[in-house]
Homo-oligomer: A and B are copies of this chain.
Amino acid sequence: MYVDLGNALDAEPRLTREALERLDERVADAHDRIDRLRDEGAHGYASLNLPETVDPAAIRRAVARFDDPAAVLTVGIGGSALGAATLTEALGTDLDAYVLDNVDPTHVAALLDTLPLSDTVVHVVSRSGTTAETLSNFLVVREAMADAGVDWTERTLVTTGPSGNLRDLAARHDLPVLDVPAGSPGRFSVLSTVALPVAALAGHDIEALLDGARAEADRLTGSLFEAPAYAYGATCYALERRGAGVNAMMPYAESLESFAEWFAQLWAESLGKDAVGQTPARALGATDQHSQLQLYRAGPRDKLVTLVRPRERPDVSIPETDFDGLDYLGGGSLGDLLEAEFRATEASLAASDCPNVRIEVDRIDERGVGELLYGMEAACTLYGELAGVETFTQPAVEWSKRAARGLLGGGDVDADDAVPEKRRLVID
């Protein structure tokens, strides 16, 4: 992974090279702390060890019983789903990869109509084994398989924690089961048993994914001027402190759309605490030049734009044309056009003093994606240290989980969690 900070400096909000150099002393301290906590296997920090601690052979063994399926369906929510979507979308696949990460009945019904149930592997993922959305969806899918005469026990793979409903279910029906990694919250678990099984089923080189991550891990040192991941994390933090409350993640690759969503979860849930934290906005190049760019250039000066691009990609030629005024396109390629748009957008952001960072990988392949995902996790971990927040917890989402359970009659909910009468001012 390469990080270019050139356009992040001396824009608005203003961050100087000198300020980054001063910050680098704090980066050194933060790195020492991160390193120590990784060694101790502390909650969350252990995620940065995943490229070493995960066993790809065990993942390959667990999926080996599924012989060349037509489709794979991940049933999970949040970090238990976004990693799989990110990998299969980025790396492409001949197999149809679906994710069920919402409990919208319209969507679930439509998906069940589409899925080749007898030829689908279902990967159900829940650390606790009690996530209401995931288990409800799994019950619905399982029943649909049974109704279609498909033996669901032959088509189901489980990833879960050491105890709970899914662990029991796997034991009862002799399902292949993988352990969620210890000390790794969902949003930091893409490089593990949570998302790698689907990549393995889709024929991807999961060892190369881990190699890419390991290469990025090996580059973490006590200076942001040496470690690309830290360069990015420290710059985001420094810009947020100066007023860049929004971080627009804008990959120039359609296949990284889910990556931007994965990043949004990583950033929002890890850093949105104690009244600080950058708001991630998802964008996509070149499409969103015709949508968000106006705002980034001419709106409030509260934004950092993160541009991501592969240095190489396959290309498609544009046929010759007699279209008036468009002869400059004919004989070129879509890749040339996309590249020109990338450079023009980057320059136009710089010209309007909107800070932007360029992140590159050599190619969007297993190794490049491994570098990128690990790099963002390390960047987020550093940002959290610098901001002094608890990066690896998510206390503010617990309230509504308990409240939803209370509304459904799920008992043992404190009186505090009862949902109060809504204040209304209805215009209809």
Contacts and interface: CB of A to CB of B under 8 A. Distances in A.
A165 interface: yes
Contact of A135 (B142, B314, B321, B404): B321
Contact of A299 (B169, B272, B397, B401): B272
Contact of A245 (B271, B290, B300, B348): B300
A164 to B, nearest CB: 8
B140 A419 contact: no
Given A3-B428, A77-B290, A408-B332, A102 B399 contact: no
Given A290-B397, A397-B290, A427 B337 contact: no
A118 interface: no
Given A165-B323, A341-B400, A347 B419 contact: yes
Interface in A167-196: 168-169, 186-187
A282 B282 contact: yes
Nearest to A282: B282
Given A105-B333, A254-B106, A400 B293 contact: yes
A329 interface: yes
A408 B299 contact: no
A340 B264 contact: no
Nearest to A347: B419
B135 A329 contact: yes
B290 A79 contact: yes
Interface stretch (A35-43, A64-72, A220-228): A220-228
Contacts of A348: 396, 399-400, 403
B350 A105 contact: no
B396 A293 contact: yes
Interface in A276-324: 276-277, 279-282, 284-287, 289-303, 313-319, 321, 323-324
Contacts of A135: 321, 323, 326, 329
A77 B17 CA distance: 38
Interface in A401-428: 401, 403-411, 419-420, 422-428
A33 interface: no
7 contacts: A2-B428, A165-B324, A272-B299, A277-B299, A277-B300, A279-B300, A280-B281
